[in-house]
Amino acid sequence: MRHSLLTPAAAVVAALALGCGEQPSPAEPADASHASFRTEQNPDGPGAFATHVPEGFFIAGDANLSAVVGISFADLVQLCAGELPFPPDGFLDRFLVFRPDGSIKSWVKGLSVPIVVWQTGAFDDICAEGLLAFPHLEGTGQFHDKDNDLLGSGNRGNAFGPHFVGQVTSEAGDRFHFLGQFHVVVLRSGEVRVDRFELSLRPIGG
């Protein structure tokens, strides 16, 4: 499965990681007068730093399907033409937790998120002219993506992968269930295990 998150969050992560360099060590006692998380509203909290940042959209594909989650087809066309600022507003949110040990936990989620699907896996570029001209299906669904160690600190094992499910309609009016799930576990030894790897499109009532 081809997959990527097109997002400004990487720059935000880097900036916040530098700003969180003097976090207290896990062994330091917490001050009971403060919340355990440090946030923009509670900058002096003793524990991990937590914040929300806007997310862009998610691209997935295999040999038979291509999909983009978090942007409508009309907005994608405008984005590819340079007529829409990045990222699109309001569909996906990333929650980041900067732990005292240097690792970062990430959770991206969205409800009623736009989904665009093409029944072809021949294109690597989501803005390719041939793909945008190819018949597509469009609808909405739910998206979540958890990453236990976003930048691979090596301080712990890691598990990550998106899950999205929804309903899409073809240009001819046919309706389909759409499912995408991808899950990877990375052990501290460096061993990588792929638990789930699926994109599927199933007719509704068929």
CA 68/CA 100 separation, integer angstroms: 34
CA 16/CA 104 separation, integer angstroms: 10
CA 77/CA 49 separation, integer angstroms: 37
Question: In a 10 Å sphere around its CB, with 0-12 CB exposed, 13-18 middle and 19+ buried, how is residue 134 labelled?
Answer: middle
Distances (CA, A) of 192 to 157, 183, 186, 187: 10, 11, 5, 6
pLDDT given for residue 46 in this prediction? 59
Tokens 């030894």 belong to residue: 189
For the chain, where are the E strands, in sequence order? 2-6, 49-54, 57-61, 66-69, 93-98, 104-118, 136-147, 158-170, 175-186, 192-203
CA 194/CA 183 separation, integer angstroms: 6
Residues linked to residue 181 through DSSP beta bridges, in sequence order: 163, 198
Encode the chain (206 residues) as per-residue pLDDT tens digits. Answer: 444 544 444 444 444 444 444 443 333 333 333 345 555 555 565 578 889 988 888 898 888 999 999 999 999 999 899 887 766 666 899 999 998 888 899 999 999 999 999 999 878 788 998 899 999 999 999 999 999 888 888 778 888 889 999 999 999 999 999 999 988 898 888 888 888 888 999 999 86
pLDDT given for residue 90 in this prediction? 65
pLDDT given for residue 47 in this prediction? 72
pLDDT given for residue 44 in this prediction? 60
